[in-house]
Amino acid sequence: MNSIKQYLTSSIGKKVVMACTGLFLCVFLLEHIYGNILLYAGDDGAAFNEYSHSASHNIIIRIVEFVLFGSIIAHVFQAVIITKDNAKARPIKYAVSTSTEGSSWFSRNMGITGSIILFFIVIHLYNFFLPYRITEMPNGATLAIITKAAFQNVYYVLIYCVGVTFLFFHLLHGFRSAFHTLGMNNKKYTPLWKAVGTGFALLMWLGFISFPILFYFNLAGNNIPSI
């Protein structure tokens, strides 16, 4: 037990936790975007509502939800610790830094992009998870209806677009970094993980950003009733 604790609190152990929780969250994104795509079914939101209802009453999904929230907390917690550890290890900033050559602003500021994404997640949960699962839905409203209403609000559309754009850049670096941390970074597989990571980040961005844009400009969801 002590050896496990020592490993998890070590520098590499913290990064492994970051990598594993990050990859788990990537799996969740695939499941989440699949559910959202049902909004395009053209059935008044019936498939999306049924999917959401089944997920909220499935014991396995409920357990996965706890794991999901735990992963988000662990991912954020480890990110804060690693950032502090890095700051302590290099307390003096050099006048000229060569370590950032060839790297993007986003890869050097994963903490900032992660903080913006966390802010977006909180707003997202407040708009959908809270009324659907904890408090109370508006009279006669379904999850598809409140989703449509949110995507017709210009302020939420802007927040959503900014959130998923920062998610794209976070994934672009984080996906490859996770496999690097897990030791899958040899010359043979590095180009593969880079291509897969770029493709995954782009797929998530295009998929998620399509919802607010298409709904806001009335190019989708016209069959779903309004509040």
pTM above 0.85, yes or no: no
Ranked by mean pLDDT, the top range of 27-31, 107-111, 157-161, 168-172 is 157-161
Q: What is the model's pLDDT at position 89?
A: 67
Burial group, residue 105, by CB count within 10 angstroms (0-12, 13-18, 19+): exposed
Q: What is the model's pLDDT at position 154?
A: 97
pLDDT tens digits for range 185-203: 677 777 888 888 899 999 9
Region at 4 (left for phi over 0; alpha for psi -120 to 50; beta for the rest):
alpha
pLDDT tens digits for range 213-224: 999 999 999 999
Higher pLDDT, 56 or 120: 120
The fold of the 8-91+107-216 domain, in CATH, is 3 helical TM bundles of succinate and fumarate reductases (1.20.1300)
Higher pLDDT, 187 or 22: 22
pLDDT-based confidence at residue 74 (cuts at 50, 70, 90): confident
Q: Where are the domains of the chain?
A: 8-91+107-216
pLDDT tens digits for range 99-143: 455 566 666 777 788 888 889 999 999 999 899 988 888 888 999
